Amino acid sequence: VQLVESGGGVVQPGRSLRLSCAASGFTFSTSAMHWIRQAPGKGLEWVSLISYDGTNRDYADSVKGRFTISRDNSKKTLYLQVSSLSAEDTAMYYCATDREGGSFDFWGQGTLVTVSS
């Protein structure tokens, strides 16, 4: 199993980014997926979930209305569109596979988003 995130970088407040997570080594099209973030020196925060077929999506209250999760099963890629960014969104963003029972099996190494003027 391999998950490789990309798309992070330095972005000004109020701007947007699209994060990607390329998956391999498992059947991506049958796996629900998550985004989890970690601010520098802080703990883990669950961000968003998408079902295996993209029909169900959910978000943490802190990002609802600003972030959009999506997936392309033909490309085995998960996305997170992050908008209206503020300094509080500065974090390492990880993608992870869903594990039966409500947890996470495999994680990528993360992509860092820094919101700064």
* Residues between 12 and 51 that touch another protein (CB under 8 A): 34, 36, 43-46, 49
Smallest gap from Cβ 78 to another protein, in A, equals 15
Could you write out the DSSP letters of every residue in 25-84?
Answer: SS-GGG--EEEEEE-TTS-EEEEEEE-TTSS-EEE-TTTTTTEEEEEETTTTEEEEEE-S
User: With binding defined as CB under 8 A, does residue 62 bind another protein?
Assistant: no
User: With binding defined as CB under 8 A, does residue 69 bind another protein?
Assistant: no
Smallest gap from Cβ 17 to another protein, in A, equals 20
Whether the CB-CB separation of 107 and 4 falls below 8 Å is answered with no
- Which spans of this chain sit near another protein (rule: CB under 8 A)? 34, 36, 43-46, 49, 58, 60, 94, 99, 101-105, 107-110
